Chain A
Amino acid sequence: MSTPVLEVDDVHREYPGSPPVKALNGVDLTVDAGEMLAVVGPSGSGKSTLLNIMGTLDRPTSGRLVIEGVDTSTLSDRRLSGLRSARLGFVFQSFHLLETLSALDNVATGLLYRGVSGRKRRSMAQKALESVGLGDRLQTRPTKLSGGQRQRVAIARAIVAEPALVLADEPTGNLDTATGDGIVDLLRDLNQDGATIVVITHDADLAGQLPRQVEVRDGLIR
């Protein structure tokens, strides 16, 4: 069997304070290529902390995160940034789009730190936008898009560099149910086309539509 895309191995994360907050207490999780899984759990259970660690935006207090066979604990900030630019894609609840850029340029930002030429970035961004159904909104600014469309732009940005893993933290959190279902359908389509996707949600219905569910509770996987 091939190397898993991601292995979380006995990861702890403690936020300093008095008393310290133990957000993760020894999480083990393996994600294989082509998988799509939902991470569910109540508020404050540690889902976002786990996703940030999986995405190398945060480091575990102890334990290992292995991405495509490489232990990330020894990597410098520069290497981790490189890893994110090449192998990871993020979708956030609050979209994080740049308001003064068109949808196309927002998506192209996903390739900005890859050293790709502007022309190549835009042509790849156009394809990504077409694949999320926004081929007719290339030059529209995010402020002129609906919430669902904005999240599609953000998803296009996450997949434009063809990452090994897409991490989505509450991608439907800011959307109504119907729009949220559309986003989940889109993520499933992308998964059908080969993308490996982890979706955080506290919506059990949504999680139920995905092939695999993992439940986090009190910093542990149940």
Chain B
Amino acid sequence: MNWRSKLRFRDLVGTSFLGLRSRRGRTALTALGIAIGIASMVAVVGISASSKAALLAELDAYGTNLLEVSPSSSGLAVEPLPLDAQPMLARVDAVETASAVSKTNLEVRRNVNDSSIAGVTAMGADPELFTTLRMTMATGRPLDDGLGSLPVAVLGEVAAIRLGIHDLSGGPTVSIDGHNFEVIGVLDELPLNPDISRTVIVGDTAAVEILGIKPNPTSVYLRVTPEEMATTRPLLKPTANPDRPAKVNVSRPSDFLEARAEVDRNLQNLLLALGGVALLVGGVGIANVMVISVLERRGEIGLRRAVGATRGHIRSQFVLEAGLLSGLGGVLGVLLGSAITIGYARRQDWVIDLPPFALAAGIGAALVIGMLAGLYPAAKAARLDPALAVSGGT
């Protein structure tokens, strides 16, 4: 006796798809709910991944081998670096370049009579700094050894905006502590050194001779051979200040940039949670629609039972139908979320980074949510009394 029902897997899938195809409008609307949830989650992940990728690309460009040696700011009295800190540091094997700067509190004004404060300070720098920080010019030229003692200045990007100097036509000047300096150049953005972007850079000799600041460096910037970063870093404090190594601080500016990539974690989680709520609502919508569907399709269910479907077959059909419905929303959502990410990243001039894992997870999550939402309606369908189900009319 071979009285066994058997439904091939592909026929099960076909049967579930049939249910969706037969009610296109409803299928589309219900899938849309899931699509919105998935799209927002994919967009959140995609945009933050792209933003991070853009940041890392920026890091690559400016290098992660830049170190800043400065006086430790813990405690009240800040002990300046010794005069010979720069030459000492430059002598360390793995140090490629070492450039000293003297940051000051001297306010920079558009001219002597200007009483407004732009929040821009002056800084004396070894002209080699332009190489060490890989500075590029928005306009004009950098300082060089020949200009180090002259009353000329290069503006950081932010400083130039604050001072209202956009180009060099008309030979603009700035006033530092009553002394006039000719502006010879404006820098591009400095993602690793936003503090320098806010300063006006003058030659180290000019800073001492014209502005009368102390010659002790406030920071020394170093480029270190990347492979020897780890072994070199511990040597720097005692080299910079052999007497008081504890009073020296060594930092890596790229760390701050990297940290910035993590700052948005909280916001990202919040947005993901919102996407999750949208998904949940979408799932409830699917459960609802499927319950209604089961009520409407009693005749179909009865007929399937009459031609040999087991309760399990009916249950699988409806669970899968709900899963496919939701999965459809998932595919739609992934497409939509990717489009949002690509559009946004393009506008921001970012590299586009859509983690394939996130895309697969989006569709997978939709499938699972749909199947879970389908469990109850499917159980209802499977429990229908076949005799009652066929007695109704369709």
Question: Do A and B assemble together?
Answer: yes
Q: Which residues of A contact B (CB under 8 A)?
A: 48, 52, 55, 57-58, 70, 77-79, 81-88, 90, 92-94, 96, 98-101, 109-110, 112-115, 117-118, 157
A residues near B269, Cβ cutoff 8 Å: none
Rounded to whole angstroms, the CA-CA distance of A85 and B307 in the bound complex is 5
A residues near B387, Cβ cutoff 8 Å: 52, 57-58
Rounded to whole angstroms, the CA-CA distance of A153 and B310 in the bound complex is 23
Rounded to whole angstroms, the CA-CA distance of A157 and B303 in the bound complex is 11
B residues near A118, Cβ cutoff 8 Å: 10-11
Q: Identify the interface centre among B21, B303, B306: most chain A CB within 10 Å of its CB.
A: B306
B residues near A78, Cβ cutoff 8 Å: 4-5, 310-312
CB distance from A111 to the nearest CB of B (A): 8
| B308 close to A77 (CB less than 8 A) | no
Number of interface residues of B (CB under 8 A): 36
Can you give 22 contacting A-B residue pairs, CB < 8 Å? A52-B390, A78-B4, A78-B312, A79-B3, A81-B5, A81-B309, A81-B310, A82-B5, A84-B306, A84-B307, A84-B308, A85-B309, A86-B2, A87-B3, A98-B22, A100-B18, A100-B21, A100-B22, A112-B304, A113-B308, A113-B310, A114-B308
Query: A55 touches which one: B3, B21, B303, B306 (CB < 8 A)?
Result: B306
| A157 close to B2 (CB less than 8 A) | no
Does B82 lie at the interface of the complex (its beta carbon under 8 Å from any beta carbon of A)?
Answer: no
CB distance from B21 to the nearest CB of A (A): 6
Q: Identify the interface centre among B304, B307, B309, B313: most chain A CB within 10 Å of its CB.
A: B307
B residues near A85, Cβ cutoff 8 Å: 3, 5, 307-309
CB distance from A24 to the nearest CB of B (A): 13
Rounded to whole angstroms, the CA-CA distance of A82 and B7 in the bound complex is 11
Query: B313 touches which one: A98, A100, A113, A117 (CB < 8 A)?
Result: A113
Query: B308 touches which one: A86, A92, A93 (CB < 8 A)?
Result: A86
CB distance from B37 to the nearest CB of A (A): 29
| A94 close to B22 (CB less than 8 A) | no
| B305 close to A96 (CB less than 8 A) | no
Rounded to whole angstroms, the CA-CA distance of A55 and B1 in the bound complex is 17
Of chain B, the residue at the smallest CB distance from A92 is B390
Rounded to whole angstroms, the CA-CA distance of A40 and B172 in the bound complex is 111
Does B113 lie at the interface of the complex (its beta carbon under 8 Å from any beta carbon of A)?
Answer: no
B residues near A79, Cβ cutoff 8 Å: 3-4
Does B300 lie at the interface of the complex (its beta carbon under 8 Å from any beta carbon of A)?
Answer: yes
A residues near B299, Cβ cutoff 8 Å: 94, 96
Of chain B, the residue at the smallest CB distance from A72 is B3
Of chain B, the residue at the smallest CB distance from A55 is B306
CB distance from B137 to the nearest CB of A (A): 69
| B22 close to A99 (CB less than 8 A) | yes
Q: Identify the interface centre among B6, B308, B393: most chain A CB within 10 Å of its CB.
A: B308
Query: A96 touches which one: B10, B15, B385, B394 (CB < 8 A)?
Result: B394
A77-B311 contact in complex given A52-B387, A87-B3, C-beta closer than 8 Å: yes
Does B347 lie at the interface of the complex (its beta carbon under 8 Å from any beta carbon of A)?
Answer: no
Of chain B, the residue at the smallest CB distance from A99 is B22
| B386 close to A57 (CB less than 8 A) | yes
Sample of 18 more A-B contacts, CB < 8 Å, known A90-B303, A96-B394, A112-B309: A52-B390, A57-B306, A57-B387, A58-B386, A58-B387, A81-B310, A81-B311, A82-B4, A92-B390, A96-B306, A98-B22, A101-B18, A113-B7, A113-B308, A113-B310, A115-B5, A115-B7, A115-B8
